[in-house]
Amino acid sequence: MTRLVLSNARIVLANEVIDGSLAIEDGVITAIDSGPFTRFDDVEGDYLIPGLVELHTDHLESHFHPRPGVEWPAASAVIAHDAQIAAAGITTVFDALRAGSFDPGDLSARNGERLASAIHQSQADGQLRAEHFIHLRCELPCEDTVAAAARTIAAGDIRLISVMDHTPGYRQFVSLDKFKEYYLGKKLIVPEKIDDYIADKIALQSRYAAGNKAEIMALVKSLGIRLASHDDATSAHVDEAVADGVVIAEFPTTAASAKAAHEKGLAVLMGAPNIVRGSSHSGNISACDVAEAGHLDILSSDYVPASLLLAAFALPEKVSVITLPQAIGFVSLRPAAAAGLDDRGVIELTKRADLVQISLRSGVPVVRRVWREGIRVL
């Protein structure tokens, strides 16, 4: 039996913050005490929060594809990505791999099965600090989506599938001006070709999206994998998601769609960078507004792992009706529950001892130590 006692901590529970200590035995929390401290492993008055649970991050792509046309060894990319994930306080991560090549030069979208295999093998070899699952993001208006999805499913542990459509003028990019600003800003296409590019993408949606969706839905049903919608913009999109059996609504783009999703029992997931920045990079609804309306359930770091912790501590300052325990729940308990991981996400007796020690330095949360199942990984 292995035992660890962490004392002199500000422990963030599900509904309150207490000063006290907790004990861990064989990877689970066995005692939580408030009041006078016993001197075991002194946390020095820092916050102790549950390990963060991340449902949608494509950060791995930046390691696998660090420059245009450059492909990094998959296993090395996974290990480097995992180190940043753990350093951000994330102990459970759903790596978002794509099926469907929306852009011709997109190496990551064409190599989902290689990345899935690398994640699976690295985890089996004990090389990873966080626990990794795979979130398969299926881009519907692409010729190769279904075949790529099938290959990735065969290669890794898929726990979540989302269906996406990034066609210009649709969902995330209802505004063509915002679409042009985004693509031109990232230098993904030259200005004189942008209108032809838009016309081509609209044609691809007409040709492939409906058929691909039907096949992906059949695949989800046969495998019993949880399903997420993506960039719902209208109440009709939400109704479609409910009919499809969706359980998580990722990044609704309007107040109306966020409200509809929440009222119909979907877990509404918004981007932590949206909280940190104060707005959506695509010009859509502010996540703070969704939180203030009471429609927020989950935050995701999306493309910046460190944003998850930063947003959780910033949210109570930005939205007065949100407490710190509630904000921490958006990045731990609620995403864990939405993913069916009921053994983690909260500091509570018998739950997994996935924990993060946080100190506040000039208002910025700093990760000092991380434990996964009671074992220190950072």
pLDDT at 36: 64
The CATH architecture assigned to 1-50+344-378 reads Roll (2.30)
State the SS3 of the chain. CCEEEEEEEEEECCCCEEEEEEEEECCEEEEEEECCCCCCEECCCCEEEECEEEEEECCHHHHHCCECCECCCHHHHHHHHHHHHHHCCEEEEEEEEEECCCCCCCCHHHCHHHHHHHHHHHHHCCCCCCEEEEEEEEECCCCCHHHHHHHHHHHCCEEEEEEECCCCCCHHHCCHHHHHHHHHHCCCCCHHHHHHHHHHHHHHHHHHHHHHHHHHHHHHHHHCCEEEEECCCCHHHHHHHHHHCCCEEECCCCHHHHHHHHHCCCEEEEEHHHHHHCCCCCCCCCHHHHHHCCCCCEEECECCCCHHHHHHHHHHHHCCCCCHHHHHHHCCHHHHHHCCCCCCCCCCCCCECCEEEEEEECCEEEEEEEEECCEECC
Residue pLDDT, tens place only, 44-98: 999 999 999 999 999 999 999 898 788 999 999 999 999 999 999 999 999 999 9
pLDDT at 1: 62
Alpha carbons 58 and 97: distance in angstroms, whole number: 7
For residue 80, the Cα-to-chain-centroid distance in whole angstroms is 18
Would you state the pLDDT for residue 199? 80
Question: In the prediction, which pLDDT does 367 show?
Answer: 98
d(CA 205, CA 197): 13
pLDDT confidence of residue 104: 58
* Confidence (pLDDT) at 167: 77
C-beta atoms surrounding 236 within 10 Å: 11
**Residue 195, phi then psi, degrees to nearest 5:** -65, -40
Residue span(s) of the chain under CATH 3.20.20.140 come to: 52-340
User: Taking Cα atoms as reference points, which of 291, 227, 299, 219 lies closest to residue 259?
Assistant: 291
The CATH architecture assigned to 52-340 reads Alpha-Beta Barrel (3.20)
Which residue is it, tokens 């059996």? 245
Q: pLDDT in tens for each of the 378 residues of the chain?
A: 678 999 999 999 999 999 999 999 999 999 999 976 666 799 999 999 999 999 999 999 999 989 878 899 999 999 999 999 999 999 999 999 999 876 655 655 568 899 999 999 999 999 999 999 999 999 888 888 999 999 999 887 899 999 988 777 676 666 666 677 766 665 567 677 777 777 888 888 878 988 999 999 998 999 999 999 988 988 999 999 999 999 999 999 899 999 999 999 999 999 999 999 986 756 678 999 999 999 999 999 999 999 999 999 999 999 999 999 999 999 999 999 999 999 999 999 999 999 999 999 999 999 999 999 999 999
Looking at the chain, which residues constitute the CATH 2.30.40.10 domain(s)? 1-50+344-378
